[in-house]
Amino acid sequence: MLKQTIYIFLLLLLVSGCNKELAEEDKAKLAALNIELTQTIDDIKATTENYERYSGGLIKSLIAARLEVLKTNKNLVEQRINSIESGAAVKVETLVTNPNPELAEHLQSEIQSMKQEIEIDKNEASKYSGGLILSMKLVTIATKEQSLAALQQKYLTVKYGLSSLPKVDIEIPKPIEESDPSVPLESRL
């Protein structure tokens, strides 16, 4: 009997801890994040369908890269939703950005512009039934869609202060002029 009482007490304690009421600010963030999550899931579905249309090649690779960025976006948004719903204190142990509403608005306008460009390119590509021109149009569309996914990831990062990838500075070596006689032949190959 004592064990049952202890189990019931622990169960009540556990259940009472899960019924935390969210503040209005958190409810608003949660609603906005759920909208972003729905849009991202829809983008993933559409991109997956597009991915399955191709058997291989450059276009499929570009679509695959976009798909991975979208999946990362989805995971980031889900992580933020879970932290708000659970009431867990967010302990910063990774690179995090501060929300920047002005930059988010600018990125949103860039996203809309990119979507319009993609639609224009898709309409242009629909005029062709095959060949090199259609292939080039499809590569352009896939590249722009990947850029769109990266813009969306940056937008989510600056709007909600999500974790972001570390900035890596890569030094690009200067090209060697073939006519430079001071450079050994082996270095020019």
Which residues of the chain have a pLDDT value below 50? 168-170, 172
Question: What is the total count of domains within the chain?
Answer: 1
The backbone region for 131, taken as left when phi is positive above 0, alpha when psi lies in -120 to 50, beta otherwise, is left
Q: Is the distance from CB of 36 to CB of 70 less than 8 angstroms?
A: no
Neighbours of 138 (CB within 10 A): 20
Report pLDDT digits (tens) over 65-117. Answer: 889 989 998 998 888 888 888 877 666 555 556 788 888 899 999 999 999 99
- For residue 142, is it within any domain? yes
Task: Quote the CA–CA distance of 12 and 6 in Å, as a whole number.
Answer: 10
Task: Quote the CA–CA distance of 124 and 137 in Å, as a whole number.
Answer: 8
In 3D space, the residue among 69, 106, 87, 70 whose CA is nearest the CA of residue 30 turns out to be: 87
DSSP state letters, 19-65:
-PPPPHHHHHHHHHHHHHHHHHHHHHHHHHHHHHT--SSHHHHHHHH
- Domain containing residue 144: 23-87+95-165
Residue 112: what pLDDT? 95
- For residue 55, is it within any domain? yes
- For residue 113, is it within any domain? yes
Q: Evaluate the CA torsion angle 119, 42, 101, 99 in order and state its sign.
A: negative
Residue 26: what pLDDT? 81
- For residue 100, is it within any domain? yes
Give residue 150's identity as a one-letter amino acid code: A
Q: Is the distance from CB of 90 to CB of 26 less than 8 angstroms?
A: no
- For residue 3, is it within any domain? no
